[in-house]
Amino acid sequence: MTVSSAKSISKPSYNFQGTVDQTGPQVVGGKGVRIDVEKEGKVHENVLDAITGAAVGALGWGDEDALDIINKAARTSTYSYPCLISNKPSEALAKYYIDHSPEGAFSAALWCTSGSESNENALRIIRQYWLERGLPNKIKLMSRESSYHGFTLGAQSISWNPRVEPYAPYLMDREKINIQIPAAYTYRFKKDDETEEDYAKRLVDATEKKILENDPNTIAALTVETLPGSSLGTTPPPKGYLKGLRDLCNKYDIIFHLDEVMCGTGRSNPNGNFNCWENYLAPTDAPDIQTVGKTLGSGYVTIAGILIGPKIRSAYVEGSKSIHGGNTYSSHAFNCAVSLGIMQKLKNEKLTANIFKMGNLMGEKLSQILLSEDNIAGDVRGIGGFWSVEFVKDRATKEPFDLSLNIAGRFKAICFENNLNVMGMPGNPDGSCGDRCLLAPSFIITEKDVDEIVEIMAKSVLQLSSDLRKEGAW
């Protein structure tokens, strides 16, 4: 890593975000998979970016084609309020996403500016859907423990994890409206004598029990992350689980909503397209609603979306045919035009296929190296370009570290000093999930980049393991 002097030193911040009493690390440049970060008055150059912010990057930094796409969009875009006057880029982006999903999966889309906003809009769409069908008592929302669906209060209401608990007084009724079902977390909760299919059936049976206890005629939707991100750390669904949930939704007339804000839009698709659920479900089992974001604009624009299945759209078409109101910047022409150009490049240059291949290679190599040596890595999990390493005090018992040790924060700092940018997430206070590191590199990574990520990860895990052993904490 090259470290150079910066013109300014660390100083109080004018931003009310993150650490509010001082200016934290700042990105000051980058190209491809590498970034330059100013930290405490010094610039760390060519840091390998293995997380792309929050799993946002697809094309990497400073992509020349992206800059051309942006310039063209800026020259041809004029703002209009989408509820009154729409625009062609939003229609084109919706058609492109639908055309590159399994046939019949989706029939419309709404574009907004963040993943949280997409889940917030999904809740409104769900509510109006039942009103269009004349079933106003369908109001309850089912979602999983240890889930995270966004930063807004509606999205947090369908989330269940320590980050949302301080805001409980402002959330929906967490007893009557928001219904919690078990997490799908194979590493910790599958019994030793169970197969994946057995575990999936147990989860589906528990979900059906919750449906019956809460009266199916009052349940509006079931929301799950296809592949969780910051909530649990990319734990794939056990075999048959998502199909089982889809069948329950069909059986009891419940909307099946998949949240793919972090894992979707090409990050984890096996067919060179965009949807993560294609790893686990047949086209006929597609979700009724799917929320997406992150790599949709590769961070060059702020955009997310809600994909609407035929069943949902039909209820609106056969009913009021309209949605009253909307977000000011929904279906923003500039954002949609840039996103469309980026998605076309991802497809044309086979970058979605590349990240699936290179990401799985990264996961395979991490598993081989980390789990074959004596260290604090307990599990390596994920699919495509989205992976996690969970740290434990004891591999046999899966005992997590005490949160006071700040394992995730320390590991992130060690990786950074070793020239690698990752995301560190603390474990749950109740011990239901340990500290973990998330990896979500740009779609452009090469095998050489993979090898470097794996090498630095292994070095950093061993370094922290050694430090903890010296401290008597491991």
- In tens digits, the chain (474 residues) has pLDDT values of 555 544 445 578 898 988 888 888 999 999 999 999 999 889 999 999 999 999 999 999 999 999 999 999 999 999 999 889 999 999 999 999 999 999 999 999 999 999 999 999 999 999 999 999 999 999 999 999 999 999 999 999 999 999 999 999 999 999 899 999 999 999 999 999 999 999 999 999 999 999 999 999 999 999 999 999 989 999 999 999 999 999 999 999 999 999 999 999 999 999 999 999 999 999 999 999 999 999 999 999 999 999 999 999 999 999 999 998 899 999 999 999 999 999 999 999 999 999 999 999 999 999 999 999 999 999 999 999 999 999 999 999 999 999 999 999 999 999 999 999 999 999 999 889 999 999 999 999 999 999 999 999 999 999 999 999 999 999
* Alpha carbon separation from 276 to 258, 309, 352 (Å, rounded): 10, 16, 11
The helix or strand, by DSSP H or E, that contains position 68, with its residue range, turns out to be helix 64-76
Domain with CATH 3.90.1150.10 in the chain: 2-62+351-471
User: Which residue carries 């919750």 as its tokens?
Assistant: 210
- Report the relative pairing of strands 178-181 and 108-112 from DSSP bridges: unpaired
Rounded Cα–Cα distance for residues 110 and 146 (Å): 27
> What's at 18, amino acid-wise?
G
What's the first-to-final CA gap in the chain, in angstroms? Answer: 29
**What is the model's pLDDT at position 4?**
53
**DSSP bridge pairs for 37:** 27, 44
**What is the model's pLDDT at position 12?**
83
Domain with CATH 3.40.640.10 in the chain: 68-348
Per-residue tokens: 196: 């994946």
**What is the model's pLDDT at position 346?**
98
| CATH numeric code, 2-62+351-471 | 3.90.1150.10
DSSP state of 394: B
**DSSP bridge pairs for 255:** 221
Nearest CA-CA partner of 438 in 451, 465, 457, 459: 457
**What is the model's pLDDT at position 335?**
98
Per DSSP, the three-state class of 37 is: strand
**What is the model's pLDDT at position 312?**
98
Rounded Cα–Cα distance for residues 249 and 242 (Å): 11
Rounded Cα–Cα distance for residues 466 and 72 (Å): 52
pLDDT in tens, 213-255: 999 999 999 999 999 998 999 999 999 999 999 999 999 999 9
Cα-to-chain-centroid distance, residue 249: 23
Rounded Cα–Cα distance for residues 246 and 239 (Å): 13
Rounded Cα–Cα distance for residues 255 and 288 (Å): 6
**What is the model's pLDDT at position 10?**
55
Class in CATH terms, 68-348: alpha beta
DSSP state of 169: G
**What is the model's pLDDT at position 24?**
87
